[in-house]
Chain A
Amino acid sequence: MIANYGFKDGSGDWYVTIDTDKCNGCGKCVEVCPEKILEVGPDEIDIFREEPVAFVKHEERKKIRYHCAPCKPGYGSEPPPCAAACEPRAISHSDGWKACFKDSHQ
């Protein structure tokens, strides 16, 4: 399952996407996230899934834009810490942060 956590507003798409078919529930993303927005636990969408899965905490979903900003997802070639730590490559970010950053014009 592709789980998109976050929101879309006038200024762009602000989502952390977790591919739960790839996620192995290892929890490394939780450890490295400086803003502590991630959690590993029972799959709340697929209630029949036995294995734990990573997801974005409820209270963080509406604030994701602000809390992911310090890691600058999409800016430069470095992936943000959570994506870098994820061995099965289950985590990605939408392009809102990237679009919000504009190269200097002058």
Chain B
Amino acid sequence: MIVAGIDVGGKNVHIVIKKDGQIIGKGTSPTGIKKAEAVEALYEQVLKQAGLTRKDVECVVATGSAAKRVAFANGSIADAAADARGVIKLFPNARTVINVGAEEGRSIKVSPEGKVLDFAVNDKCAAGTGTFVEAMSRALEVSVEEMSKIALDSTKSIPMNAQCAVFGESEVVSLIHQKTSKPDISRAVMDAVAGRVGSVARIVGLEKDVVVVGGMAKNAGFVDSLQNNIEMPVTVPEDPDYIGAIGAADAALSGVIE
């Protein structure tokens, strides 16, 4: 059986195509303004790479903040449910899933069967999301990738006072003027986001194993800061940003859709 999972996030679309439980095609592209068109184009591209046509796919399940934009989907599942499903397949011992994306952060308590037991979410505010890091990266004039690396070289921890991304930019600029090193500023930014994500996670409770997914999970500096904040080791899957799409594809396979 061939199925597809499509995760339409605030910043990127991720698509996974599975055949009998194996991933046979995947791809990502920016969501952009015209979300439906972006999904359409990426879907065609992923199908082509996998040597498939639309007719070969039996079921398409969408997830993510703009899941409704996927007109051709057979159904959709909630973001948290997709994360839980996607993670439990890879890490059966996972009990807490923390997803930090471009515009949202959430923490999910999962059952051994991959069911969502509890979840808490931070949305509608850029603090505690990838967008915050991006805004700071512009102020610092260092790419997010670079920040992610150099944050690990930081020697001292500086607390950021600003909680808002807009005020944070001014704070980063003043830290630069104070001749604070770029690694230390990067670290301060990662610590700030980690602090917010950690507090959301503490609302649902942190239980081992903790798996971190979403675009920010690719940011080594952030993951390190998060581990320090929650005082627990975390696991990051390969392709952590595809977890939502994988979970959606899994839901398509099991026929659990809304």
Contact = CB atoms under 8 A, between A and B. Distances in A.
A70 B125 contact: no
Secondary structure call for the A interface: mixed
Most interface-central of A62, A75, A100 (chain B CB within 10 A): A100
Contacts of A55: none
Contact of B203 (A62, A97, A105): A97
B52 interface: no
Secondary structure call for the B interface: mixed
Given A100-B122, A104-B118, A69 B200 contact: yes
Nearest to A72: B203
A105 B124 contact: no
Given A9-B164, A10-B125, A102 B199 contact: no
Given A9-B127, A9-B164, A66-B196, A106 B202 contact: no
Interface of A: 7, 9-11, 62-63, 65-67, 69-70, 72, 75, 97, 100-106
Given A69-B202, A70-B199, 20 more contacts: A9-B124, A9-B127, A9-B163, A10-B123, A10-B125, A62-B161, A63-B163, A66-B199, A69-B199, A70-B202, A72-B203, A97-B203, A100-B120, A100-B200, A101-B203, A102-B120, A104-B80, A104-B117, A104-B119, A106-B256
